[in-house]
A and B are shown apart, each in its own frame.
Chain A
Amino acid sequence: MKRIAALAILVGILMPLSANPTGQYYALSLSLFPYMTIPHYQDEIPMRTAAGTEVMVGALGYRFAVHDVSLEVGYLGTTASITHGFYRTRGFDSVKVALRWAYQMKENLSLFTALGTEINFYRNVDSAFASFSTAVGAEVQLAYNSSYRLSLIFPLTIHLRKEITAIQSAVGLRYQIFPTLRGGR
């Protein structure tokens, strides 16, 4: 019974009740991805595979009619790579800051790009490094009302580390909350 009630509340929140929301918003994005590392040094294999997750919080976001800009902070975590041969890449945790811009192409489809920088901490070995990242991707709107917007996101991120260039091809969800009701377009 509780499950049904929770589901009903969720559907109630997500059902499109009004026009596409605009204005200032807060956002929460969660994405999962394979993390493919291409080393700049000589390695046993040309690319190593790990997995990762990213949680971003948009504290300063604003959605115009078709443009959407937000400054986001978040966490990025990757696992160690699959062991192959005598080495594997180390897993790490990161604190990330990114500036994101999205452009709504169709009613339910937006394209976005982001630029970010990270401080990364290797999980086991007390060592840190800085990095930069850039992302492009598509955002498919799943549901919205005047206060909320839920999208499926497909960011393709290039993680620019000093000794590695990594590719993250993620699938995720982005949830935006519009605290002030400003009406539709």
Chain B
Amino acid sequence: MKRAVHVLTALLLLIVLTGCEVFLQAPEQGNVYAILIALDYKNTTDQASLDGTLGDARELKYALKAVADKSKANAYHSYLFIQEGLGHSTSDVVQIGDQGPVNTYPSSTNLLAAFQALGHVTTAKDLIIVTYSGHGAENGELALADTGTGTTEKFAASKILDALQNVPGRKLMILDTCYSGVSIPDSGASHSTLTDNNISKWYSKYWDSSSYKKPDVFVMTASTNTLSYEQAITNGHSHGVFTNALLNGLGWTHPHTNDLETIAPAPPAAIKNSIMSVDTLYEYVKEYKSSDTWLSIFSPSGRGQHPMVSGGSLDMILFTF
């Protein structure tokens, strides 16, 4: 019997000590690229204007920079794609790496050009974060900028995800829109408990023909299949409720001065055990829901705003500290 105990103990130790993480060298961190898209819809008639979106993108730009600077990431590059006011175009351009200038008016043409340029610049070590603050529809379409046609351009979020597949690196797309959860791709191995689901669906998922792949793009959204809301933070200063929670998780606090470059954010609350991952950020945003604003829009019936994130067995590391 002693022999059996010894054999089992040895087997246990062997399995523990052969944990791959101990022996394999972790890859080093690369650069961080952020593409921040926001529209206020004041130049179009088919969508209500939004007050908090531009602030979402502009403040996320600096909040992410502060986190990247604190982390082991090499360099931080950010690109704002903003539709603001009554105009239907902009002369502003950005240079993404050594690629040609890309106009920053958030039309599908310009955004796809930006992703194509990124695809020539990034490597597998890099982190690419794309944020979108604007309107979204129940069918998963985003309302991109009105280019002078009188209506916004309806563009499926899945097309942006497709474009991002061709960009090397790990990618996180953050959508602060209504119905944004419908744009989260099926994981192939698990089922969201926030949408219509039950035990038979979980077992059906086990046996169906779908499969799980390491996600090329993680998606985090402001809501499941419900409306998403904005909130006034201070006089004349609003944010999406979700983005405000996200900013807090990144260490960005309110109120703050108008000169965003001079703000020194607090240590990010979404860091756990020296890492910030998709899950730690998501968990922070969910818990932030307990604030008064979240509670006022969260209903027990499940029709209130609830953030959502890509399912499946893997969590993606965003920043290491």
Contacts and interface: CB of A to CB of B under 8 A. Distances in A.
Contact of A126 (B16, B192, B206): B192
List 5 A-B pairs, minimum CB-CB distance, nearest first.
A163-B212, A49-B19, A127-B311, A129-B190, A163-B189
Interface residues of A, number: 51
Contacts of A46: 20
A119 interface: yes
A35 to B, nearest CB: 10
B314 A87 contact: yes
Contacts of B206: 129-132, 162
25 contacts: A42-B214, A44-B27, A46-B20, A49-B20, A81-B21, A84-B20, A86-B27, A87-B214, A87-B314, A87-B317, A88-B277, A88-B317, A89-B314, A119-B199, A124-B280, A124-B283, A124-B286, A125-B279, A127-B191, A129-B190, A129-B206, A130-B202, A130-B206, A140-B4, A161-B313
Nearest to A160: B206
A180 interface: no
Interface of A: 34, 36-37, 39-49, 80-90, 106, 108-109, 119, 121-122, 124-132, 138, 140, 154, 156, 161-164, 167, 169, 171
Interface stretch (B7-15, B101-109, B137-145): B7-15
A125 B309 contact: yes
Contacts, number: 151
Interface residues of B, number: 54
B187 A127 contact: yes
B61 interface: no
Q: Which of B170, B202, B203, B280 has the most CB of A within 10 A?
A: B202
